[in-house]
């Protein structure tokens, strides 16, 4: 019976092409707007490191000034970054399985000696060696550096896939030399395609930016006195006449993450942070009450409000728009089905039960939803393209993956069925005798 | 075949009550060809709708093949309509965008028959009415008389216990009307019971019996002895 009802549904749609087109357009438009907003929201609110969510922790210490908190609107928060002094001190602990201390900087990369490519600016991340293992960063060629490279500030570099393409035309460039700010660095690894969105490991410097172009050992920054390229926040006026002053200051400009695989290690490290701060208080630092925290990635994303309220409001508005589209579709369906009531009366007279008529019309409604959904997916792709052209930083957020395609289709079919329930029910109430004489 | 005893039907609105049938009594035997006549508003259509289980009634009893159908559920009524009753309407009531094959197929689909059985019955029914060669045509490509013959084929395809015909020649010219009536007579000769509502006295005379309805009641029952009743071998 299903294929029979499907045939009848197709015939019914063709019988009133304009009406059918309007209903399909209503669903498509509603689904298109909804799915576009939902796709961006979903990608913004995703946890790219969900698989390691239970073992990774962002470190925060409240070293802010006594007069006012880090955030006026949310006074309970500690700064999202740590000082160089505190990061270095905490990194010495052997409680975490792994740890990473990092910050942004920038270089002018010059591959011209090797590939003839002109020099270009690169966003770079100075990090300790565990960055790649902790954050599951995939390599296409080579790998990261070891402890010796960290300790010795070796001139090694890991390239992003895009930078490798730009500097060396793609391919295995491990062993090649890349000049950064006039100094030679040996390429030891090239990353595979990797674009976690949001960029959870450093939400304070472009949460939806692409990952950095280069990765180098953290200790190089100190040796070469590389200036920061990310956020630097200081709570007091203090002289910063030299790089050493910067490193010794109470300015927060480093990101720190630790890997703590068990509850015991988490508790131990929390106690270690608290003890450290208490000790620093005796030296006149940390004048605010104890407020040190470890945040798992999902909590970290929530804390930083990566998805703002305006995004949530947009999603709500999108669903309201879908509801309006469905109301329109309901009206059109009601007109169509009640207009075809004589045919329903005839079928009932010939032996169709109410449930058969209900199924027949529900299949028609489902078909409208499916076709509308397919068109809606196209509109979603167009919508995401438009978002991409308007907002450069949303490149990673405007991908329509298979999950979202299925979601869009499911929303369309479900919406169609919801809108079609009342008209279908109404037409099933048709008394067979009413229309037979007048058909 | 079927028996109505003291059947009454009242249509009520906020302002008025209309007694469409009052104490209506009719017994139709297997194999009969009964014509139901009467002026407009006499209750003929209401009787037909009740006989065809398209409408319920308020009081009385209606037995079809010995089964009391007064209190049946809507699904049960649909099932009986599909299996036992064939309808022929004045305005043919063919589905305009289905071809003849698919039109005749409609009641068979609801009976859940397999494709081979449906095809056999459809071809036989269209053969009987002389339209087997037009099976792929749609109704708009046929004359009125041909459309009515397709409607008769649709009514017959499911081997109903009886046919209910509501003014089957009302929209036809005299030539086509004669062809349709001859076809109905032929069908009746083969054993199918027919109850036909008609304004046409000539048509009514072709039946075995004429039942005259006035003000919702049967007022006159006249058999036509000139036409012998042919009973089918199947029991009621």
CA distances (Å), B194 to each of B48, B70, B126, B230, in order? Answer: 12, 21, 19, 12
pLDDT, tens only, A45-90: 788 898 999 999 999 999 998 888 888 888 889 999 999 999 999 9
Whether cis (ω within 30° of 0) applies to the bond prior to A424 is no
SS3 A92: coil
B98 vs A contacts (CB less than 8 Å): 11
Chain B interface mutation, best of A431, A436, A439, highest count of B Cβ atoms under 10 Å: A436
| Cα–Cα dist B40/A119, whole Å | 98
- The pLDDT tens digits for A251-310 are 999 999 999 999 999 999 999 999 999 999 999 999 999 999 999 999 999 898 887 777
Cβ <8 Å between B74 and A353: yes
Q: A4 touching B, CB under 8 A?
A: yes
Provide the pairing of β-strand A139-142 with A56-60: unpaired
In angstroms, rounded to a whole number, what is the distance separating the alpha carbons of residues A342 and A439? 6
Extract the tokens encoding A437: 């004489």
Tell me how close the Cα of B130 comes to any Cα of chain A, in angstroms: 22
H or E stretch at A42: helix A17-44
The verdict on a CB contact (< 8 Å) between B49 and A433 is yes
List all residues of chain A from 394 to 433 with a beta carbon under 8 Å from chain B: 431-433
Name residue, tokens 């409604």: A365
Instruction: Name the residue facing A352 among B78, B83, B91 (closest C-beta).
Output: B78
Alpha-carbon distance of B105 to B116, in angstroms, equals 12
Under an 8 A CB cutoff, do A433 and B90 touch? Answer: no
Put simply, the answer to whether A355 touches B95 (Cβ < 8 Å) is no
Residue A106: its H or E element: strand A98-110
Looking up tokens 């509501």, which residue turns up?
B166
Q: Do A351 and B79 touch (CB under 8 A)?
A: yes
Q: Which chain B residues are within 8 Å of A340, Cβ to Cβ?
A: none
Chain A residues near residue B81 by CB distance under 8 angstroms: 349-351
- Substitution target in A6, A349, A355 with the highest count of B β-carbons within 10 Å is A349
Per-10-residue mean pLDDT of chain B, 236 residues long, equals 90 86 90 90 89 91 90 91 92 92 95 92 93 93 92 93 90 86 90 90 86 84 52 39
Q: Do A346 and B93 touch (CB under 8 A)?
A: yes
Tell the burial category of B65 from Cβ atoms under 10 Å away from its Cβ (0-12, 13-18, 19+).
middle
Contacts 24+ apart (CB under 8 A), B180-189: B180/B145, B180/B148, B180/B149, B180/B152, B181/B206, B183/B129, B183/B149, B183/B152, B184/B33, B184/B152, B185/B33, B187/B128, B187/B152, B187/B156, B187/B163, B188/B31, B188/B33, B188/B230, B189/B230
Chain B, nearest residue to A435 by Cα: B93
Nearest to A352 among B49, B89, B110 (CB): B110
How high is the pLDDT of residue A394?
62
Among A15, A356, A437, the residue with its CB nearest the CB of B110 is A356
pTM: 0.71
Task: For residues A408 and A374, give the distance between their C-alpha atoms in angstroms, rounded to a whole number.
Answer: 8
Residue of chain B whose Cα is closest to the Cα of A429? B74
The domain locations on chain A are: 2-45+308-436, 50-303
Query: What is the fold of B2-223?
Result: Rossmann fold (3.40.50)
Alpha-carbon gap, residue B34 to B210, rounded angstroms: 6
Beta bridge partners of A217: A127
Q: pLDDT tens across A176-233, in order?
A: 999 999 999 999 999 999 989 889 999 888 888 889 999 999 999 999 999 888 888 8
Chain B interface test: which of A1, A11, A351, A358 (most B C-beta within 10 Å): A351
pLDDT of residue A25: 94
Structure tokens belonging to residue B142: 């046929």
List pLDDT tens digits, range A318-358.
999 989 998 998 899 999 998 888 899 999 999 999 999 99
Question: A-chain residues within 8 Å CB-CB of B45?
Answer: 437
Cα–Cα distance for residue pair A170/A158, rounded to 1 Å: 14
Taking one residue from A and the other from B, the number of pairs with CB-CB distance under 8 angstroms is 66
- Determine whether the interchain pair A351/B111 forms a contact, defined as Cβ–Cβ distance below 8 Å: yes
Among A1, A4, A353, the residue with its CB nearest the CB of B78 is A353
For residue A62, which phi and psi values (nearest 5 degrees)?
-95, 85
Q: How far apart are CA A75 and CA A147, in angstroms?
A: 38
What backbone torsions phi and psi does residue B55 show, to the nearest 5 degrees? -135, 155
Nearest to A371 by CA among A6, A25, A71: A25
How does residue A154 score in pLDDT terms, banded at 50, 70 and 90? very high
The residue ranges of every structural domain in chain B are 2-223
Within an 8 Å CB–CB cutoff, is residue A182 touching chain B? Answer: no
Q: Which residues are CB-neighbours of A324 under 8 A, at least 6 positions away?
A: A30
Integer Rg of chain A from CA: 30
Residue A219: Cβ-neighbour burial (10 angstroms; 0-12, 13-18, 19+): middle
HEC assignment per residue over B221-236? EEECCCCCCCCCCCCC
**Cβ atoms of residues A269 and A95 within 8 Å:** yes
Structure tokens at A91: 């990194």
For A125-173, the DSSP string reads EEE-TTHHHHTT--EEEE----HHHHHHT--EEEE-HHHHHHHH-SS--
What are the beta bridge partners of residue B92? none
Chain B environment of A439 (Cβ under 8 Å):
89, 91, 93
Instruction: Tell me how close the Cα of A354 comes to any Cα of chain B, in angstroms.
Output: 7
Taking Cα atoms as reference points, which of A115, A106, A237, A104 lies closest to residue A173?
A: A115
Looking at the predicted structure, is the pLDDT value of residue A136 above 90?
yes
Kindly determine whether residue B107 and residue A351, on different chains, have CB atoms separated by under 8 Å. yes
A99 pLDDT higher than 90: yes
Predicted pLDDT of residue B225: 44
CA A345, A349, A350: angle at the middle one, nearest 5? 120
Task: State pLDDT tens for residues A105-133.
Answer: 999 998 877 777 888 899 999 999 999 99
Phi/psi for A386 (5° steps) reads -65, -40
A339 — contact with chain B (CB < 8 Å)?
no
**Mean pLDDT value across residues A377-389:** 87
Nearest-Å Rg of the Cα atoms of chain B is 17
User: Which pair of tokens denotes residue A140?
Assistant: 């296409």
* Beta-ladder partners of A191: A139
Q: Which of A1, A15, A351 sits opposite B81 (nearest CB)?
A: A351
Residues of chain B positioned with their CB less than 8 A from the CB of A347: 106, 110
Q: Are B44 and B196 in contact (CB under 8 A)?
A: no
Question: By the CB < 8 Å criterion, does A351 face chain B?
Answer: yes
Say if A436 is an interface residue toward chain B (CB within 8 Å): yes
């Amino acid at each position: 019976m299903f294929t029979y009802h499907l045939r009848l549904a197709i015939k019914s749609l063709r019988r009133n092409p304009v009406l059918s087109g309007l209903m399909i357009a209503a669903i498509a438009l509603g689904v298109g707007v909804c799915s576009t907003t939902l796709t961006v929201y979903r990608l913004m609110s995703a946890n790219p490191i969900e698989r390691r969510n239970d073992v990774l922790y962002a470190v925060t210490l409240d070293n802010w000034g006594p007069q006012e908190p880090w955030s006026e609107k949310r006074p309970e928060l500690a700064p999202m970054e740590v000082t160089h002094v505190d990061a270095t001190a905490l990194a010495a602990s052997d409680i975490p399985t792994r740890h990473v201390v990092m910050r942004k900087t920038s270089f002018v990369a010059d591959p011209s000696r090797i590939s003839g490519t002109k020099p270009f600016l690169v966003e770079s991340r100075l990090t300790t060696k565990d960055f790649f293992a902790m954050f599951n960063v995939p390599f296409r060629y080579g790998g990261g550096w070891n402890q010796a490279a960290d300790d010795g500030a070796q001139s090694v570099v890991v390239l992003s896939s895009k930078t490798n393409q730009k500097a060396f035309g793609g391919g295995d460039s491990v062993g090649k030399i890349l000049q950064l700010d006039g100094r030679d660095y040996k390429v030891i690894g090239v990353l595979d395609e990797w674009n976690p969105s949001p960029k959870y490991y450093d939400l304070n410097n472009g949460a939806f930016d692409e990952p950095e172009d280069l990765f180098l050992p953290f200790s190089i920054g100190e040796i070469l006195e590389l200036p920061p390229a990310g956020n630097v926040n200081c709570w007091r006026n203090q002289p910063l006449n030299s790089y050493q002053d910067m490193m010794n200051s109470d300015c927060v400009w480093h990101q720190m993450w630790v890997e703590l695989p068990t509850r015991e290690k988490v508790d131990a490290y929390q106690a270690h942070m608290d003890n450290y701060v208490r000790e620093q208080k005796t030296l006149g630092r940390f004048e605010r009450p104890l407020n040190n925290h470890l945040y798992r990635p999902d909590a970290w994303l929530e804390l930083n409000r990566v998805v703002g309220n305006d995004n949530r409001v947009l999603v709500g508005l999108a669903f309201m728009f879908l509801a309006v589209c469905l109301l329109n579709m309901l009206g059109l369906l009601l007109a169509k089905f009640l207009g075809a009531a004589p045919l329903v009366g005839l079928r009932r007279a010939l032996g169709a039960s109410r449930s058969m008529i209900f199924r027949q019309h529900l299949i028609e409604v489902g078909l409208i939803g499916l076709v509308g959904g397919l068109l809606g997916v196209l509109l979603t792709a167009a919508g995401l393209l438009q978002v991409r052209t308007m907002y450069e930083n949303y490149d990673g957020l405007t991908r329509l993956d298979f999950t979202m395609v299925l979601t869009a289709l499911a929303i369309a079919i479900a919406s169609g069925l919801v809108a079609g329930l009342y008209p279908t029910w109404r037409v099933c109430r048709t008394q067979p005798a009413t229309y037979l004489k007048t058909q | 075949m079927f028996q109505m005893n003291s059947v009454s039907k009242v249509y009520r609105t906020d302002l008025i009550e209309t007694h469409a049938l009052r104490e209506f009594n009719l017994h139709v035997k297997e194999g009969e060809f009964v014509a139901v006549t009467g002026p407009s508003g006499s209750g003929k259509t209401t009787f037909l709708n009740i006989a065809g289980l398209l409408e319920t009634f308020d009081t009385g009893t209606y037995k079809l093949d010995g089964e009391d159908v007064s209190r049946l559920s809507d699904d049960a009524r649909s099932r009986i309509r599909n299996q036992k009753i064939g309808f022929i309407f004045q305005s043919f009531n063919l589905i305009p965008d289905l071809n003849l094959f698919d039109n005749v197929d409609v009641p068979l689909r609801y009976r859940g028959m397999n494709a081979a059985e449906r095809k056999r019955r459809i071809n036989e029914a269209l053969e009987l009415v002389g339209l087997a060669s037009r099976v792929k045509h749609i109704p708009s490509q046929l004359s009125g008389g041909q459309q009515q013959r397709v409607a008769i084929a649709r009514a017959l395809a499911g081997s109903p216990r009886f046919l209910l015909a509501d003014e089957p020649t009302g929209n036809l010219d005299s030539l086509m009307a004669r062809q349709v009536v001859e076809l109905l007579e032929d069908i009746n000769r083969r054993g199918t019971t027919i109850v036909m509502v008609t304004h046409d006295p000539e048509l009514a005379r072709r039946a075995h019996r004429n039942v005259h309805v006035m003000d919702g009641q049967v007022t006159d029952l006249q058999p036509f002895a000139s036409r012998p009743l042919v009973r089918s071998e199947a029991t009621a």
